[in-house]
Structures are given as C-alpha cells and as structure tokens.
Amino acid sequence: MKLSENAIKVLEKRYLSKDENGNLLEDVEGMFRRVAKEIASADEKYTHKAGLVEIEEQFYEMMTSLEFLPNSPTLMNAGRPLGQLSACFVLPVEDTMEGIFETIKNAALIHKSGGGTGFSFSRLRPKGSAVNSTGGVASGPISFMKVFNAATEAVKQGGTRRGANMGILRVDHPDILEFISCKKDNSEITNFNISVGITEDFMKAVEYNLEYELIDPKTKKPVGKLNAKQVFDIIVEMAWKNGEPGIIFLDRLNRDNVTPELGEIESTNPCGEQPLLPYEACNLGSVNLYSMLDAEKNSLDFDKLGLTVKKAVHFLDNVIEVNKYPLKEIDEMTRGTRKIGLGVMGWADILCALGIPYDSQRAIELAGTVMEFIQKNAQKASEELARQKGVFPYYEQSIYAKKGIRIRNATTTTIAPTGTLSLIAGVSSGIEPVFAISYIRNVMDNNELIEVNPVFKKAALEGNFYSDELMKKIAESGTLKHIEEIPEEVRKVFVTAHDVRPEWHVKMQAAFQKYTDNAVSKTVNLSHEATTDDVREVFTFAYRAQCKGVTIYRDGSRDMQVLNIGKVQ
Ligand code: CDP
C-alpha cells in the first residue's frame, strides 16, 4: 500500500489493534482485512461462503486501493469488542434533571467509542425560570452546555479520539443572546462547535428589519421580542471574531426530513454535515475522487466511480447490520431508518490534476455533474439492495412510501470533512480547496521537513520547475500567488483555501448540496483583513444559495489554529 509516513503514524497511534502493553497486533493491511471481513459478514444471511469471500475481497480492495474509506470509528472498531462503527449521533436533551444527565452519560459512552454527538438545547427552559420541585430558578441551556463540555473533557484521555459535540439553540429561544456569545472567549466550551438554529421567519424579519418573538419552550408562549437584524449582526460579529457560532437553517433540514412522521430534526452531528433525528446515528464513508482520475484521457472515470459508489453503498448498508450501538434507543432508530452518508474527498486534487481552477464556473459545473452522478448511483444501489434485502423498517412512515420508491436507506449521501480519512488517503479533504501547496513540518530534533502537495509536485516535475529551494519559498506563504517562477496557468489552477474568494467557497458548497441528501461540511475561509460586512455577505449568500448551514473562519482569528500556513507542528 502507498501510505505516507504521516498516515502510518496516525494509523499506528489510534487505529491499529494493540495488546495491553501497547504492542501492535496488526499492520495496516491487517486492519483493512479485519474491517472487510467484519463488514462482509453482514451478508451471511444472503449468500453462500464463496459469495461472502468475494464480498470481503471487494471491500478489502476498495479500501487498500484508497478508493473508498469508511469513517474512522468503522476502521477503529470493526471486528473488535467495542464494535461501534458510526461517527455521527444526535441525542435529545429533555427539560428535566434526569433527562439532562442521562444524555450526558450517553454522550460519554458515544465519545469513548470515537463517535461525535450533536444536541439541541432548545427544549431547556430559559435561565431564571421557576423550578417547581425545589422552588429555585433554572440555570438555563448555556450553563448545562458547560456541564456537557466538562464531561467530554474528562472522557477525552481514555477514548479512541477527542470527543466532539455540536450545540444548537433555536434563534427564538429566550437565552439566544447568551448562546451567541458563549464562545466569545475561545478557551470556553472548547469541546463544542456551536450553531444558531435559524428559521425562515427569522431570515424574513432580518430582511425587513422587523422584530421577532422569543418563545418559552416550556409554555410555548411568547416572552419577549428582539430585533432580528440586530441579532443577526451579533451572530456575524461573533463569527467574525473567532468563527463561532455557525448557522444552520432548521426549516431546510426539515424540508428534507424523509421521515417527518418520526419526528423533527433539531440538530446535526458535530461538523454539521449530518442532520439526524434524536437517537439516530449514521455511518459515513467517502470516495476518493482523486483515485477516479483516468490519467491517460485526463478525465474523471465515471464507470469506475459508478462501480465504487455501488460497492460503497453495499458496504455502508452492511455497517448498519454489524454495528454495536451504545443504547437500545439508538439501535432501534438507526436500524429503523438505515441512513448512510456517502461523500467524497480529494475533490481539489482532481480539479488540479484536470487543470480546472477551484474558483471557476467549470469547477462548479463539474461539482454538480459529479455529485448528481454519485447521488443517482447511490440511490439506485440502495433500491437494488431493497429488492434483495428489503426496505428500511420505518419505510411506511417515509416520503418514499408515498412516492412508491422502494429504497433500503432513508438517506444515502453526505459530504463529511474527512479530517483523518483524507490524511490516510493522502488527498485533499472533503470538497475543500488545498490548504497549502507546500508547508514546513517540524520533525524530531528540530529538523524541518518540507511537505509538498503530491499533485503539485507531479506537475512541477513534469513542467521542469521543481526545486527544493522553490518548494521552501512556497512554504513561506503556502500559496503560489506571488511566485513568478511558476507559469501563470499553473498558478491559476493550484489555488489554496486562502486564494479562493469567499463567494466561490459558498458556490462550491451549494453545488454539492444540491445533490446531497444530507448536508455538506465546508468552511468558508476569509482573510485576516475581512470585515464583518464580508461575513454578513457570506451568510446571506449561503442562505440564498440554498445551503443548509454555513461556517466561516477568518484566518488568525483563534489563538489555537489547527492548520497554520508557514509552519505546521
Ligand atoms: O475523517 P474521519 O472519518 O476521522 O472524520 P471526519 O470526516 O473529519 O468527521 C466526520 C464526523 O466524525 C464528524 O462530523 C463528527 O461527527 C465525528 N468526529 C468526532 O466525533 N470526533 C472527531 N475528533 C472527529 C470527527
């Protein structure tokens, strides 16, 4: 297998089985074999032994060729005692002491296994409301979020990876102003991403500069009013300050809720790409688009992509079967709707290889073509599975029953961030532009190593302009923008996240969203000099472009920034 040193390091640290002394019990191929075998075993009921071996081989090859990878918990836990394979969960937060602490316990169990949790705190009574049983006053959603945060912090060390949460509050909750500013200080509530749940009514009120009502979730009565535009401006200012909160459009999540009779969608998973019902989980997987490049024809191999999508849907559907869910309620919901989320990674890399600039109309059009193709093929594959294995158990309560479409999975497509998966596959993450063309990494003994984007390296070698000095020069800023030694056409194509103007980020997100059942993980990067007006424009544009949510990040606006241009630790 062709894996980078970095990928091997990550896999050894967190993914490969070890004994109690920390000695590795498997190598990377061994891990993929373990996963392929376990996931194929879901077909025991449907096929004979030879068929099972064939399926296992298909899965094994698809992963070892790095054409498809399932989300991290599947790689970590399949075929091992924990057996929890999903990355995404949403848990309900009820307005009772028992309910709140029950959910904290359940979230801890999920984090331990590498899953992330999302919650809406909108049902909690506002700060200062009466508590009947004690005669005291309620401390409100934000103070409880801090308890969730502390629990996550405590579980961090023992788990497979750092627990991640999404916290959502409806914009019409009486404590909304406190929520919007609760991460003003970056060292607070660090284990949460936060998003304001925006409604269409609210957006209309912003447009017409009107007041809107705050509703007490307990009594369902209006308890106050705020000017929508002013609230929007505070959201914008906070996001400008350090990237939080993001916003999600609740009505849109529910417009696309395929099982409305089962309940309302009130939250997503931590990175925002997977809206779920309370107690629902979802397993994700991503096709590596860069590996779909037909180098000879210099085009995307759609036949190969179609086949990979089909196998990937089969794989992800099997995951639901063999998954060990941490709670009875989650088991029931997740097997009931059988949601899966197939997405992509390596998008920017294949654009570069094809010579198409990320910030161009051609790229946006290709995004639509590719994702429409993936969505269609994923649905077709799920319909085929339904013919063989049956529709999902809650099918009768779904929109598909009304349309007469017999399908096995209530949703099939989601664009995940692929933070670790893309590192393992050695490609650009999700649908994000390349972060830096080259950068300096500190390795042991204070030695510096220059990492160069592999697609660029290939182009530079072919174009005869590769040199170590040049790569070092590029690493200083990460971008090719001002490097005149490099041909102009190359500079146009190899653009980085910071070279791409915000509207192109949003256009790309919207292009993928159009053909994605669930949602799209995307960060709109802004330069350090961007103003609050720029942020407002991005939010408004994303709303008009039919995105389901939007997250921005202004360069240098957090003390702790995971990726730094120039130097990465
Ligand atoms: O690449 P990988 O499969 O590790 O994950 P990702 O695509 O970056 O993230 C997908 C989802 O995994 C996130 O939206 C979270 O629900 C979950 N996740 C988590 O719980 N904790 C993390 N540290 C990273 C991801």
Cα torsion 136, 127, 164, 512: sign = positive
Mean pLDDT over the full length of the chain: 94
Dig out the tokens for 256 from the structure.
């696309």
- Amino acid at site 20: E
3-class DSSP state of 48: coil
Is 73's C-beta closer than 6 angstroms to any atom of ligand 1? no
Label residue 534 by pLDDT band (50, 70, 90): very high
Distance separating alpha carbons of residues 536 and 226, to the nearest angstrom: 19
Predicted confidence (pLDDT) per residue in 238-292, tens digit: 999 999 999 999 999 999 999 999 999 999 999 999 999 999 999 999 999 999 9
Cis peptide before 245 (omega within 30 of 0): yes
Residue 274 Cα to ligand 1 midpoint, Å, equals 11
Q: Which residue has the least CA distance to atom 10 on ligand 1?
A: 416
Predicted confidence (pLDDT) per residue in 42-61, tens digit: 999 999 999 999 999 999 99
Rounded to 10 degrees, the C-alpha dihedral 560/563/566/568 comes to: 90
The packing angle between helices 28-40 and 302-322, to 10°, is 70
Is 161's C-beta closer than 6 angstroms to any atom of ligand 1? yes
For 367-413, what is the HEC assignment?
HHHHHHHHHHHHHHHHHHHHHHHCCCCCHHHCHHHHHCCCCCCCCCE
Predicted interface score ipTM higher than 0.90: yes
Predicted confidence (pLDDT) per residue in 485-517, tens digit: 999 999 999 999 999 999 999 999 999 999 999
Distance separating alpha carbons of residues 187 and 548, to the nearest angstrom: 28
Label residue 186 by pLDDT band (50, 70, 90): confident
Q: Which residue has the least CA distance to atom 19 on ligand 1?
A: 116
Distance separating alpha carbons of residues 365 and 351, to the nearest angstrom: 12
Distance separating alpha carbons of residues 110 and 190, to the nearest angstrom: 18
- Which residue out of 77, 269, 271 has the highest number of ligand 1 atoms within 8 Å of its CB and is therefore the one to mutate? 271
Is 92's C-beta closer than 6 angstroms to any atom of ligand 1? no
Tell me, what's the pLDDT at 296? 93
Distance separating alpha carbons of residues 31 and 18, to the nearest angstrom: 11
| pLDDT (mean) for 209-226 | 96
Tell me, what's the pLDDT at 339? 98
CA distances from 198 to 101, 170, 218, 509 (A): 27, 6, 19, 18
Label residue 159 by pLDDT band (50, 70, 90): low
Predicted confidence (pLDDT) per residue in 141-151, tens digit: 999 999 999 99
Distance separating alpha carbons of residues 170 and 167, to the nearest angstrom: 10
Dig out the tokens for 231 from the structure.
């609230």
Distance separating alpha carbons of residues 328 and 38, to the nearest angstrom: 22
Is 269's C-beta closer than 6 angstroms to any atom of ligand 1? yes
Predicted confidence (pLDDT) per residue in 356-408, tens digit: 999 999 999 999 999 999 999 999 999 999 999 999 999 999 999 999 999 99
Residue 419 Cα to ligand 1 midpoint, Å, equals 7
The dihedrals phi and psi of 232, each to the nearest 5 degrees, come to: -60, -40
Of the candidates 316, 336, 170, 172, the one whose C-alpha atom is nearest the C-alpha of residue 254 is 170
Q: Which of 255-269, 336-350, 443-457 has the lowest mean pLDDT?
A: 443-457
Is 87's C-beta closer than 6 angstroms to any atom of ligand 1? yes
Tell me, what's the pLDDT at 445? 62
Number of residues in the chain? 569
Residue 441 Cα to ligand 1 midpoint, Å, equals 23
Tell me, what's the pLDDT at 560? 58
Dig out the tokens for 37 from the structure.
């075998």
Q: Which residue has the least CA distance to atom 23 on ligand 1?
A: 162
Q: Which residue has the least CA distance to atom 6 on ligand 1?
A: 418
Distance separating alpha carbons of residues 536 and 15, to the nearest angstrom: 41
DSSP state of 12: I
Q: Which residue has the least CA distance to atom 7 on ligand 1?
A: 418
For 144-204, what is the HEC assignment?
HHHHHHHHHHHHCCCCCCCCCEEEEEECCCCCHHHHHCCCCCCCCCCCEEEEEEECHHHHH
User: Does residue 246 contact residue 239 with C-beta atoms inside 8 Å?
Assistant: yes
Residues taking part in catalysis: 269, 271, 273
Dig out the tokens for 215 from the structure.
């509703």
Distance separating alpha carbons of residues 341 and 493, to the nearest angstrom: 30
User: Does residue 347 contact residue 353 with C-beta atoms inside 8 Å?
Assistant: no
pTM exceeds cut of 0.90: yes
Tell me, what's the pLDDT at 564? 46
pLDDT at 326 over 70: yes
pLDDT at 568 over 70: no
Residue 268 Cα to ligand 1 midpoint, Å, equals 12
Residue 338 Cα to ligand 1 midpoint, Å, equals 19
Dig out the tokens for 310 from the structure.
């089909």
Q: Which of 19-33, 212-226, 386-400, 428-442 has the lowest mean pLDDT?
A: 428-442
Q: State the closest ligand 1 atom to the C-alpha of 69, by its place in the atom list counted from 1.
A: 3
Residue 420 Cα to ligand 1 midpoint, Å, equals 8
pLDDT at 88 over 60: yes
Is 421's C-beta closer than 6 angstroms to any atom of ligand 1? yes
| pLDDT (mean) for 523-531 | 96
The dihedrals phi and psi of 331, each to the nearest 5 degrees, come to: -55, -50
The dihedrals phi and psi of 410, each to the nearest 5 degrees, come to: -60, -30
Tell me, what's the pLDDT at 134? 79
Q: Which residue has the least CA distance to atom 13 on ligand 1?
A: 271
User: Does residue 327 contact residue 334 with C-beta atoms inside 8 Å?
Assistant: no
For 440-459, what is the HEC assignment?
EEEEHHHEEEEEECHHHHHH
Tell me, what's the pLDDT at 47? 95
